[in-house]
Structure 1
Amino acid sequence: MPRWFALEPADAGLFDSAPHVFRYEKHYDADPAQVWESLQSDESLSAWGSTVSSLTWTSPRPFGIGTTRTVGLGPAQVHERFFRWEEGSGYGFYVYEANAPLFRRFAEDYRVEPDGTGTKFTWLVAIEPVGAMRLPFRLLAPLVKAGFGRMASDGTKYFAAR
């Protein structure tokens, strides 16, 4: 059983104050209802590609503010709690525990909007590393940003194939 490290709670304010905020905007060839259905499905992002290796909702449906889930990215695992849930248009969550002591606070926000015949998907990732990781993270931030960008690109391929 993995050891868990507690992170500090976060809310939407972290997207304005975190030392590292990554923003991704993608157009998906699917209507917003399809993208939303995928995001809150049992597989969610793990269906889009291999970047997310596992995803388990740990709260019962219907989902909303306070919903929790566990997400795996290879050996890294996190427990997430949702602080924003707008049915059909997006959600935001923060990581409250991780199996590695890398972050002080970590949050993500997903928005789904109509965009012509498809969907505009906007994704924000806000990261505040723990003190000892500030300098290494600053050096590794471009690689971390590219890794998250791969997940957003996985969505482009996923919806184009549907």
Structure 2
Amino acid sequence: MAHGLRPVGLDFTETAPLRLVCAAHAAAAPGEVYRALADDVEAWPRWFRAVTWARPVEREGRAGREVRLWGGCRFTETVMAAEPVTRYAYRVDETNAPGLRALVEDWLLIPAETGTIVRWTLAVDASAPVRLVLGPARPGVGHAFRGAVRSLDRRLADARGRAG
């Protein structure tokens, strides 16, 4: 059964009771990474293993997404920041995952000499049992994030190869 989460702003990424911050390098340029995140939502399952289905939606006149993860979790999200080449962030508005109160994901794209540093922040307010699970899960979450960025980078490189 889905339940609504507390609406929070982008500042929640700095004030959330639980924050997981990960970074990874991609050889792709920030614009390519941004387009994959923001414009090609339906392709997320091809490079982010945890995502089984995703599609863009409009919610109350704002861009949003519907996402399903392995294990059956579903999220309805509102895009909070869509700043081409630099940032893509969204807030979960509704989920079937118990114990979540507020959740924001923020993808910052930092230009680097050899591509992009992708910095991802997961900001969460949740019940004590969920916090107890997420805290020790940091290494696994970081590993999954870095694997997703590597997979995305390979996908973007393959697309450049086909185009060139």
Q: Using the TM superposition, name which of 126-135 and 14-23 deviates more.
A: 126-135
2:28 and 2:153 in contact (8 A); partners too: no
Offset, 1:129? 1.1
The equivalent residue for 1:32 is 30
Partner Cα distance (1:15, 1:159) in 2: 28
CA contact 2:34–2:88 (8 Å) conserved in 1: no
* 1:79 positional shift: 0.6
Match in the other structure for 1:106: 103
Match of 1:81 in 2: 78
Please say if residues 36 and 89 of structure 1, whose CA atoms lie closer than 8 Å, have aligned partners that are also in contact. Answer: yes
Q: 1:97 to 1:152 in 2, by over 3 A?
A: same
**Paired residues of 1:49 and 1:158 also in contact (CA < 8 A):** no
Equivalences, count: 156
Aligned counterpart, 1:11: 9
TM-score, with structure 1 as normaliser: 0.80
* Deviation by residue 1:108-136 (Cα, 9 ceiling, x = unmatched): 11122321131221111111113553444
If the length of structure 2 is used for normalisation, what is the TM-score?
0.79
Q: Root-mean-square deviation (CA), in Å?
A: 2.5
Whole-Å separation in 2 of the counterparts to 1:49 and 1:138: 21
Secondary structure of residue in 1 paired with 2:51: coil
Report runs of 4+ in structure 1 exceeding 6 Å deviation.
Answer: none
User: Which residue pairs with 2:130 in the alignment?
Assistant: 133
Partners of 2:26 and 2:19 in 1: CA distance: 22
| Cα separation, 1, equivalents of 2:19 and 2:119 | 13
2:44 alignment counterpart:
45
Unaligned runs of 5+ in 2: 160-164
Query: Greater helix percent: which structure?
Result: 2
CA offset digits 1:23-63 (Å, max 9, x no partner): 12221111222112211214243231422111110129xxx
- 1:45-85: CA deviations, max 9, x gaps? 3231422111110129xxxx931110111211101101222
d(CA) in 2 for partners of 1:50, 1:93: 19
Which of residues 44, 50, 71 is equivalent to 2:67?
A: 71
